[in-house]
Amino acid sequence: MERIIKIFVTVICLFCLIQPARCEQAMSLSTLVTPQRMNLEECNRLFKMPAEKLFYFTIAGINANRFTVDEIQTKTGYILFTAVEKKFLASIIKIDNNRSILKVTPADNIYYFQPGIVLNLFKYIDLNSLEPLTQLPARS
């Protein structure tokens, strides 16, 4: 019985030590909405999908986050949108048939903004890219 109690106490202690380290890795809500200096590397992301598919996911992610789309250019693959009264440029760059890069940069080139704008857009694409795109049936 004494051995079981020691094992139980050891497991509880290990859990208490591991839990704070795991919480520090994820950004808190206040960190995501507080403006801060962002690096250009944090605004770029490589996705394993064709550029056209990433373009559609980016538009859907902007809409899902309730940002305002100001301009869409399908030929060059960019979207100009407004989030929290600041304009951003989302550029899709094709690498090859199965990989493309999404760059979300501020239009005024001042990298002091809420990181949640970019991170939530990337997270939306990550979560929904697992589902295949389907074509809606034509209206009759």
Question: Among 46-55, 117-126, 127-136, which stretch is predicted with the lowest mean pLDDT?
Answer: 127-136
Write out pLDDT tens, residues 45-104.
999 999 999 999 999 999 999 999 999 998 888 999 999 899 999 999 999 999 999 999
**Cβ atoms 69, 62 nearer than 8 A:** yes
Alpha helix (H) ranges present in 26-134?
Answer: 29-33, 51-64, 115-128
Q: Which fold has domain 34-128?
A: TATA-Binding Protein (3.30.310)
Annotated domain spans of the chain? 34-128
DSSP run (H or E) holding 10? helix 2-25
Predicted TM-score of the model (pTM): 0.72
What is the CB neighbour count within 10 angstroms for residue 69?
13
Give first-to-last CA distance, the chain, whole Å. Answer: 73
